[in-house]
């Protein structure tokens, strides 16, 4: 199992989610950390990955032991430009 770490900004974004989406995102991250299963693609034009959870996205980077979440929020036209 990989350890999930949030940046300060991503932790605030995660905490600001409503209860339902927060549970969905948390469950999806846990499932990915345990088994590597999830709707994950490598980002083009920059380092990192994105995980799609319905209307929500998690932008992250990972190594052998850690998943570092840098953005958590709704998919908007500026999601990939901001981070």
Mean pLDDT by 10 residues, the chain (83 residues): 96 96 97 96 93 95 96 79 63
DSSP 42: E
What pLDDT, on the 0 to 100 scale, is given for residue 77? 59
What pLDDT, on the 0 to 100 scale, is given for residue 29? 97
What pLDDT, on the 0 to 100 scale, is given for residue 76? 77
What pLDDT, on the 0 to 100 scale, is given for residue 57? 95
What pLDDT, on the 0 to 100 scale, is given for residue 51? 97
pTM: 0.89
Burial status of residue 58 (CB atoms within 10 A of its CB: 0-12, 13-18, 19 or more): buried
Q: Domains (ranges, CATH) in the chain?
A: 3-82 (3.30.2310.20)
């Amino acid at each position: 199992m990989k350890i999930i770490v949030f940046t300060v900004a991503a932790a605030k974004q995660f905490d600001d989610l409503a209860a339902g989406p927060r549970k969905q995102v948390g469950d999806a991250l846990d499932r990915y950390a345990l088994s590597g299963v999830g709707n994950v693609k490598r980002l083009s034009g920059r380092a990192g990955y994105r995980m799609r959870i319905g209307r929500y996205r998690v932008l992250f980077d990972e190594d052998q032991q850690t998943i570092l979440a840098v953005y958590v929020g709704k998919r908007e036209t500026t999601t990939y430009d901001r981070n």
